[in-house]
Amino acid sequence: MGASLKDVAALAGVSVKTVSNVVNGYTYVAPHTREKVEQALAELEYRPNLSARNLRRGRTGVIALALPELDAPYFAELSRFVIDAAVERGWTVLIDQTDGLADREREVLQGIREQLIDGLIFSPITVGREELAARTDSTPMVLLGERIMDGPTHHVAIDNQRAAREMTEHLISLGHTRIGAIGAQENPSANTAHLRLAGYRQALEAAGLPYDERLAPPTASYHRADGAAVMRRLLELDEPPQAVFCFNDLLALGALRTALTSGLRVPDDLALAGFDDIEDGRYSTPTLTTISPDKAHIARTAVELLDARISGSGRGGRPAEDDGQREVEADYRLIVRESTVRP
């Protein structure tokens, strides 16, 4: 182990408290003393032991970011922003990968790393409202990307349903009447998927178009392979769709690959739209029409909400009323690119 405060104090010929004062930047240290201490600090290459400090302070300065998969571009991009925002506030971020598995998500909720983290930013996939409500762990938490009304916790998300409706309306406005959807989920607690499907159906209904279940088959997950596979099925239909709204960009990229290799021209023979605005879709050919959630905003807001909760939960922190459950709606934009409209 490295040098401790005691070692430094001994070398500098002062008390532990004085060293601590210098280390923590307190005022009221005589210049001469300060200098002596700093010399000793440097000589011994002193590094505070964070475990000890945390134990004493009751805080660790670490928050967890729990998400399904780090290698899904949407989450990778989001993580970058969350980490940036957290670091700006002096926090360290550790990652919990749940793979979207119900068990792991439940573990996260019950606090596997309680006492090691001051707070948690959680992007769930499978756990539903009941499980969130049943949470006993008291670690401050902020939910991401879900929109469970009356949920017991803070959360930040875009209006998925409205965004999905807008995208579908965009496809309708191009004159398409047979519009498919890729990304429906069979798991009833897959909230995001349900909201996007609801928005899709809403738009169809408003336009007087029928909802055809065969045009919106469920997918196993949200990867490129799923999009490619389901697209193949859609193309085998007697009446294939003229346009397809994919519930995320990965699905859309997979579907695009299938469409192109099937000899279809996009958007001429088939219009394709995605959701998430990951970078891939800005460089694919054709580029991808998509919904672009303001990821930086989402990340920043989540970190701020968590900060407020953590500060509020300490003794002598902010008033309790500030700690009420709060929902923040993040911005998004519909971005039209080449996959739906030839430039």
Partner DNA sequence: TTGAAAGCGCTAACAA
Partner DNA sequence: TTGTTAGCGCTTTCAA
DSSP string, 305-332: HHHHHHHHHSTT-S-GGGGS--EEEPPE
Closest approach, Cβ 283 to a second copy, in A, equals 5
Closest approach, Cβ 115 to DNA, in A, equals 8
Q: Which does 253 bind (CB under 5 to 8 A by kind): a second copy, DNA, none?
A: a second copy
Chain residues 48-87 in contact with DNA, contact rule CB under 7 A = 48-49, 52-53, 55-57
| Residue 196: closest CA among 253, 251, 141 | 251
Q: Please give the backbone phi and psi of residue 65, each rounded to the nearest 5 degrees, phi first.
A: -115, 110
The encoded tokens of residue 61 equal 């300065």
Angle between helices 160-173 and 191-206 (to 10 degrees): 40
The encoded tokens of residue 48 equal 């505070």
Confirm if 277 and 75 have CB atoms less than 8 A apart: no
The smaller minimum CB distance to DNA, of residues 140 and 227, is found at 140
Residue 14-53 contact track with DNA, rule CB under 7 A, x = bound: xxxxx-xx-xx--xxxx-xxx-----------xxxx--xx
Closest approach, Cβ 29 to a second copy, in A, equals 24
Q: Which does 234 bind (CB under 5 to 8 A by kind): DNA, a second copy, none?
A: none
Residue numbers at the binding site for a second copy (CB under 8 A): 1-2, 45, 47-52, 54-55, 58, 60, 62, 69-71, 73, 76-77, 79-80, 83-84, 87, 92-95, 97, 111, 113-116, 136, 138, 224, 228, 253-254, 256-257, 260-261, 279-280, 282-285
Distance CA 173, CA 168 (A): 9
The encoded tokens of residue 222 equal 């949200």
Confirm if 281 and 288 have CB atoms less than 8 A apart: yes
The smaller minimum CB distance to DNA, of residues 27 and 136, is found at 27
The residue count of the chain comes to 343
Q: Which residues bind DNA (CB under 7 A)?
A: 1, 4-6, 13-18, 20-21, 23-24, 27-30, 32-34, 46-49, 52-53, 55-57
